[in-house]
Chains A and B, each alone.
Chain A
Amino acid sequence: MKHCIYAMSFVLLAGAPAALAQKWEVGVAGGGSFYTSQTITNPAGNADAGLAKGFAVSGWLGNNVSNLIGGELRYDYEHSGLRLSSGGTSVNFGGMTNAIHYDFLLHLAPSESPVRPFLAAGAGVKVYSGTGTEQPFQPLSNIALLTKTQEVKPLVSVGGGIKFALAKNALLRVEVHDFLTPFPQNVIAPNAGSKTGGWLQDFVVMAGLSFGF
């Protein structure tokens, strides 16, 4: 079966170059997200807080302003539960994020190339949402509270990827992003006496398709 896949990829790439001259690009992608955590300090004990691994989907509209420079407006949805752990105790709570941002793209190969690596950087906003069921008692609530509420945070995006020409108007994109936001202190709320801060990093690996026109 592996032999068949390689063979098919070769055929698709061979007929691709004409697609790369398109000015506009629209696409969708899916993948997984991986968050770093932050330490919440409390005299009663510290806890690691953040979001659990989840899945991510994204959609974008881009344009190529030159042969190497482009930009795209992206929407990202991530289904990632809230997570808090301390010692042997961990608490999970339903959660998701919605983000919208604009990234500048620097391609490292000309538009005619069937394989175009690119770098991306941009900014936007991210909405953190706790969606779990609230209960009067939540373990580790003396340190922090996973909360059913929403919180908007500024977002910085960096990343990169490779565009593969599949056909005249079709691209296969494989990319990695790091979305950085300040720690969402309302959704994951430090309780009285607790402190936290800093930035939360969200690494997202996605693969998708885009179409030029």
Chain B
Amino acid sequence: MLSKSYCWKAALAIGFAAVAWGGTFGTVVSIGGQASDVALDEPRGLLYIANFTANRVDVMSLANNTIQTSINVPAQPSALAVSPDDHFLVVAHFGNAAPPGSSTNALSVIDLGSNAIQTFALGSPPLGVAFGIDGMALVVTTTDFLLFDPVSGSTIELDTIAGVSAKTLPQPAGSTPTSIVAASVAASADGLTIYGLGDTLVFRYAVTNRALSASLYTAAPPLGPRVVSVSQDGSSFTAGWTLEDRYFFDISEFPNPSGILNVGTTAIDSAHNLIYAQVRAKGDQPSPVLQIVDADNLTVESKLNLPENFAGRSVLSSDGSTLYGVSDSGVMVLTVGSLSAAHQVVATQEDMVFRGNFCDRSVATQVLTVVDPSGGNTAFSITSNTPGLSVSPSSGVTPATILVTVDPNVFASQKGTVVAALQLQSDQAVNIPKAVRVLINSREPVQRGIFVDVPGVLVDMLADPTQNRFYLLRQDLNQVQVYDGTNNTLIATLRTGNVPKGMAIARDAFNRQYLLVGCDSAQYVSVFDLQTLQPTQPIRMQNGDYVQSLAAANNAILAVTRSSAGLDPSIHSIDLGTRSSTRLPSLGVFQNKVALNSVLVASTNGSSILLASTDGSVMLYDANSHSFTASRKDFTSLSGAYAASNFNQYVVGNNVLDSSLVPLGKLEVGTGAPSGFAFVDQFAFRTTAPGPPAGSVQSTAPGIIQRIDPTNLTSNVTRATPMVEAPLLGITGAAFTRTLAPLYSRTAIINLTVSGFTVLPWNYDAALAPPQITSVVNAADLTVPIAPGGLISVFGTQFSSVNLATNAVPLPTQLADTCLSVNGQPVPIRLVSLTQVNGQMPFEAIGDVTMILRTPGGTSNNYNLKVLPGAPAVFYNASAGPDTNLPTVFRGDDGLLVTDSHPVHRKDNADLVIYLTGLGQTNPAVGDGLPSPSNPLAVPLNAPGVTLGGVSLPVVSYNLTPGQVGWYQIEVNVPTSVPTGLSVPLVIAQGQNSTSLAVRVVD
């Protein structure tokens, strides 16, 4: 027997070879026939392959992936299983011949020690076979479940089945074993549970107590690929495109499946919480692609190119390193354990954002990094099809730095955000690289709001009704993103089921503590505790129902569901206490039958829930009567924004409805399609956007936000304010949009927009006063001396309507509608607030300069100041425990901050590192707002001098801090001759300017 290490090396070599052959992952082993099943015999280093059409079992060596022998067996070996003691190989033969032929359904037992074969006739076509830990093989036929003892050859009938049919032989040319047998049976790795799947049958067999749970099912499309894979402990299994629990409820589904039986596979890797899957979706390209997805909610982690399609069962080696699966040519071998060493290409950023800047229309450049996670050198190309967006170089070898350049003048007329893409391609890489989304915003001062980039597909948004938070639903990653409304930062992400569609917050009975998320590809509604931001027990919907939309009134939680059982979409009532749901028998006097594309929304006081459907119908649930009290169809179709007020008014699209859902009137349509609507007390906010350009799904023009008086519908046009970018518009399949969320604190309005979300202050439409600058100081110790390249703080009034800081590199030259210039040159900005802007004085600014600040409110008066060649200033932004605003002086021996309790020691020539700003221009020169280089270091042109207690300290080095913007550092020695004391002056001087601070020095 080969050693494991030898097998591993061989597998690695195969994996690499496959990669080198042209950007696919895996090796194909052709068997000269059509494989129907595989079984691993790891102790012998063998893989048994049922060759359905050649009537043999091919035996493949795991060491070199070659067929070393074949065992001739009776006709049509359709399924295989190896006994737990590796003594027997049981082979099922599907011989369901149509008259006048005679059926040859049988079971063979091969003694793997002696190679002796015994064959037993079966009365019905076998669907599959699997061994339990007890050494008995479960054989499933179209009529019964049999327990077969391979030692004695005896058979026990566990139960019978009715209503299961099988295809008869012969079948038309081109048929495959998977589509003929159309069944799969598999055991968990612990051997305690066996699951099986046929065209209409799904079952679970508990080995320990020999208990069967079986049921007939319907699925549209069919459950393909027709493969069952079971988790290690049998708690979940894949059945075609579904991931199910032991009760046959869908934990998650692969979205939009094609249902093809004979293309694809699934294999659960419980040790790594992953599933390897090829499940073709409708509309997918025919090229074979393997998805690696999370084993709980099927979130796609990566996609790999395969050399050919899988076509049935896959099995993982016990160490999870190698995947063997039935494929078109026979068997495909994937060394998944060495995937991290295979060539791949990824961009380190999902999105790149170029913000519009009405101070600066010069060409903007950012850096995109392309890497191979394996650390290898992989060739790639990168392209842009958007005029005005260019990359250089357009091809390279990883790791590579790509300069992405945007000419703002090309996009100046958009006055919104253009979404472009950079396509990565590689003939070497085995993965399918994700495109990089490039957001290019162009704006005028009159456009309000600050947009925050959130990559991915955002489909819903809610503001927390009791605290200053809001929640975004990112569908492509199956997560709820929790944002702090005070600073609009992400504070948590919560995992949902697959393809989340809508959210609701449970009301009074649960103290608004629980967030519910319905998913289009999961039968469970995710429930999160909003206090702890942790998942709680989910709600199991009735079998076959998938939540499309949710809303919570005071006494009911309602859900619109679609049915995979062929029933009409309907309304379900959810009981959060029991975590269960019930399909309502009727909706008051109305039938419980709604259009598939329907949404629910509750009034903020919980008195009512509005249902709106794309077919133009609306319904109203009234919490007082605990029933649906109105149902109308006054429109041929509905889409766009939807909202319910506390004052018996409702909005769907551009239509305003009264308490009986009778149309009251229409909102204006001149500003575009409705996107968001939110009632706040007796007024409301509304957003609209012009239609998208051809070929795009979202508008590139500015959106409009309106402050609306619902009692005077014609007044809103005059209160329209252009936004920085357009709110999201509905798309096919998601015609309704909830994109507006006024925060509980009433400090801001959050909008789902093209780039992610846009923050508007509550008084976004208030008249703005022009800004005024009152002082300019260095940002380190807030004193007046300033040097080129140094960080500065500008103080004054009316700088910005919001507080916003950025860690973007390079620093933007406009932030939150505010931009600053010195002698006409844009100033990189890190922070803006009402009274303060922090930024970096341009390196070219020296001598007497003039500063101007621009906001949507206007332009400040000129502010004249003097910029010195050097003006060292130590930062006072360090902290130690509760002590803050400490100078940034660090000891070299342990890298910790110098404080009174962590003083300078004058023995042993100890090192100190001082972080400061204001050391002026450097060699080499560094661009404004750019991080400082590490090789070579950027060294100030004028050397600084440092004294401690009047004793000159040897300067070891002085330079801009690599990777930082505007930060310098000086490293000095502390000789033994410096005086000790509790407060010894440390003086940093450069030219005629100096700064001083006190440190404690001890022996």
Q: Chain A: residues with CB nearer than 8 A to chain B?
A: 134-139, 141, 145-150, 186, 189, 191-192
Given contacts A134-B896, A145-B903, 8 further A-B contacts (CB under 8 A): A134-B903, A136-B886, A136-B899, A137-B881, A138-B901, A141-B899, A147-B1002, A191-B982
Beta-carbon contact of A137 and B982 below 8 Å: no
Complex Cα spacing A110 to B209, Å: 95
- Chain B residues near A147 (CB-CB < 8 A): 901, 903, 1002
A136-B880, A136-B881 as given contacts; A141 in contact with B901, CB under 8 Å: yes
Q: Given A137-B880, A186-B1002, decide whether A192 and B983 contact each other with a Cβ distance below 8 A.
A: yes
Within 8 A of A (CB), among B143-191: none
Question: Which residue on chain A has the smallest CB distance to residue B881?
Answer: A137
Q: A147-B1002, A149-B1003 are in contact. Are A135 and B901 (CB under 8 A)?
A: yes
Number of B interface residues at 8 Å Cβ cutoff, please give it: 19
Contacts of B901 in A (CB 8 A): 134-138, 141, 145-147
Alpha-carbon distance between A146 and B902 when the two chains are bound, in angstroms: 10
CB neighbours of A135 from chain B (8 A): 880, 896, 901-902
Instruction: Provide a sorted-by-A list of 25 A–B residue pairs whose CB atoms are within 8 angstroms.
Output: A134-B901, A134-B903, A135-B896, A135-B901, A136-B881, A136-B897, A136-B898, A136-B899, A136-B902, A137-B882, A137-B883, A137-B899, A138-B902, A145-B900, A145-B901, A145-B903, A146-B901, A147-B901, A148-B1002, A149-B905, A150-B1003, A186-B1002, A186-B1003, A189-B982, A191-B982
Q: Closest B-chain residue to A133, C-beta based?
A: B894
Query: Within the complex, what minimum Cβ distance (angstroms) separates B983 from chain A?
Result: 7
Task: A192 to B902: give the CA distance in the assembly, Å.
Answer: 15
Residues in A whose Cβ lies below 8 Å from that of B983: 192
- Determine the distance from Cα of A102 to Cα of B969 in the docked complex, in whole angstroms: 53
List chain A residues, Cβ under 8 A from B880: 135-137
CB neighbors of A among B892-944 (8 A): 896-903, 905
Which of B898, B902, B903, B905 is packed against the most chain A CB atoms within 10 Å? B902
Contact residue among A134, A139, A189, A191 (Cβ-Cβ distance under 8 Å from B902): A134
- Residue numbers in B under 8 Å from A137 (CB-CB): 880-883, 899, 901
Smallest Cβ distance from B880 to chain A, in angstroms?
A: 4
**CB 8 Å contact bits of B969-1003 with A (1 = contact, 0 = none):** 00000000000001100000000000000001011
User: Which residues of the partner chain B approach A146 to less than 8 Å between Cβ atoms?
Assistant: 901
Which residues on B sit within 8 Å (CB–CB) of A150? Answer: 1003
Chain A residues near B882 (CB-CB < 8 A): 137
**A136 vs B903: C-alpha distance when bound (angstroms):** 8
Given contacts A141-B901, A192-B983, contact A149 B896 (CB under 8 A): no
Main secondary structure on chain B at its contact with chain A?
strand
Number of interchain pairs (Cβ within 8 Å): 51
Question: A186: shortest Cβ distance to chain B, in Å?
Answer: 7
Please, how many angstroms separate the alpha-carbon atoms of A138 and B900 in the complex? 9
A141 engages B900 (CB within 8 Å): yes
Chain B neighbourhood of A145, CB < 8 A: 900-901, 903, 1000
A189 and B905 CA atoms in complex are apart in Å by 15
Contacts of A191 in B (CB 8 A): 900, 982
Docked pose: A127 CA to B900 CA in angstroms: 22
Query: CB-CB < 8 A to A186: which residues of B?
Result: 1002-1003
B1 to chain A, nearest CB (A): 55
- A73 and B982 alpha carbons, distance in the complex (Å): 36
Question: Within 8 Å CB of A148, what residues of B?
Answer: 905, 1002
B1002 to chain A: closest residue by CB: A149
- Are the CB atoms of B982 and A136 closer together than 8 Å? no
Most buried by B among A134, A147, A149, A150: A134
A123 → B minimal CB distance (Å):
25
Docked complex: B265-305 residues within 8 A CB-CB of A: none
A146 to B905, CA, bound (A): 14
Q: How far is the CA of A145 from the CA of B1000 in the complex (A)?
A: 11
- The chain B residue with its CB closest to the CB of A190 is B982
Least CB separation from A194: chain B residue = B982
CA distance A148 to B897 in the complex (A): 15
CA distance A10 to B883 in the complex (A): 64
B787-810 interface code vs A (CB 8 A; 1 in, 0 out) = 000000000000000000000000
Give the distance in Å from the alpha carbon of A138 to the alpha carbon of B886 in the complex.
14
Closest chain A residue to B891, Cβ basis: A134
Instruction: Please measure, in the bound complex, the distance between the C-alpha atom of A146 and the C-alpha atom of B901, giving whole angstroms.
Output: 7
Contacts of B899 in A (CB 8 A): 136-137, 141
Q: A96 to nearest B CB, angstroms? A: 16
Cα A186 to Cα B1003 in complex, Å, equals 9
Query: How far is it, in angstroms, between the C-alpha of A186 and the C-alpha of B901 when the chains are bound?
Result: 12
Within the assembled complex, what's the spacing in Å between the Cα atoms of A148 and B907?
12
In the assembled complex, the Cα of A189 lies from the Cα of B901 at a distance in Å of 10
Closest to A189 in B: B982
Cα-based distance from A49 to B292 in the complex (angstroms): 63
- A136, B879: Cα distance in complex, Å: 9
Task: Give the CA-CA distance A111 to B323 in the complex, in Å.
Answer: 93
Q: Please, which residues of chain B bring their CB within 8 A of the CB of A149?
A: 905, 1002-1003
How far apart are the CA atoms of A20 and B899 in the complex, in Å?
57
Bound CA span A104–B641, Å:
99
CA gap between A134 and B1002 in the complex, in Å: 12
Contacts of B897 in A (CB 8 A): 136
Which residues from chain A contact B886 at a C-beta distance below 8 Å? 136
Q: Which residues of B contact A139 (CB under 8 A)?
A: 881
> Which B residues are CB-close (under 8 A) to A192?
982-983
- Chain A nearest CB: distance from B566 CB in Å? 67
Nearest opposing residue in chain B for A91, CB measure: B901
**A residues in contact with B1002, CB < 8 Å:** 147-149, 186
Q: How far is the CA of A150 from the CA of B1002 in the complex (A)?
A: 9
Residues A136 and B1003 in contact in the complex (CB < 8 Å), given A145-B901, A192-B982: no
A131 to chain B, nearest CB (A): 13
In the assembled complex, which residues on chain A have CB atoms less than 8 Å from the CB atom of B903?
A: 134, 145, 147
Cα A148 to Cα B881 in complex, Å, equals 19
Find chain A residues with CB under 8 A from B902 CB. Answer: 134-136, 138
List chain A residues, Cβ under 8 A from B1000: 145
A141–B1002 Cα distance when bound, in Å, is: 15
Query: With a CB–CB cut-off of 8 A, which chain A residues contact B898?
Result: 136
Instruction: Give Cα A56–Cα B307 distance, bound, in whole angstroms.
Output: 78
Q: Which residue of B lies closest to A149 (CB)?
A: B1002
How far, in whole Å, are A138 and B899 apart by their CA atoms in the complex?
9
A204 to B8, CA, bound (A): 69
Cα-based distance from A136 to B883 in the complex (angstroms): 9
Cα of A189 to Cα of B980 in the assembled complex, Å: 12
| A189: B residues at CB distance < 8 A | 982
Question: How far, in Å, is A29 (CB) from chain B's closest CB?
Answer: 31
Q: How far is the CA of A18 from the CA of B982 in the complex (A)?
A: 59
Cα–Cα distance between A11 and B899 once the two chains are bound (Å): 62
* A53 vs chain B, min Cβ distance (A): 23
Bound Cα distance from A145 to B983, whole angstroms = 13
In the assembly, what is the distance between CA of A189 and CA of B903, in Å?
A: 12
In whole Å, how far is A184's beta carbon from the nearest beta carbon of chain B? 12
Minimum Cβ distance to chain B for residue A112 (Å): 51
Tell me the bound Cα distance from A4 to B898 in angstroms: 60
Contacts of B896 in A (CB 8 A): 134-136
Q: How distant is the Cα of A138 from the Cα of B1003 in the complex, in angstroms?
A: 19
With both chains docked as a complex, state the minimum distance between the C-beta of A148 and any C-beta of chain B, in angstroms. 8
- Taking CB atoms, residues of chain B closer than 8 Å to A138 are 900-902
Contacting residues, chain B, for A136 (C-beta < 8 A)? 880-881, 886, 896-899, 901-902
Residues of A within 8 A of B900 (CB): 138, 141, 145, 191
In the complex, A138 Cα to B883 Cα: how many Å?
Answer: 10
Q: Smallest distance from the beta carbon of B328 to chain A beta carbons, Å?
A: 65
* Chain B, residue nearest A134 (CB): B902
- Distance in angstroms from A42 CB to nearest chain B CB is 13
Q: What residue of chain B has the Cβ atom nearest to residue A140's Cβ?
A: B901
For the complex, what is the distance from the CA of A136 to the CA of B894, rounded to whole Å?
Answer: 11
A189 shortest CB reach to chain B, Å: 7
Nearest CB of B to A121, in Å: 32
How far is B901's CA from A174's CA once the two chains are assembled, in angstroms? 40
Q: Contacts of B881 on A, CB cut-off 8 Å?
A: 136-137, 139
A138 to B1002, CA, bound (A): 16
Among residues of B, the one whose C-beta sits closest to the C-beta of A137 is B881
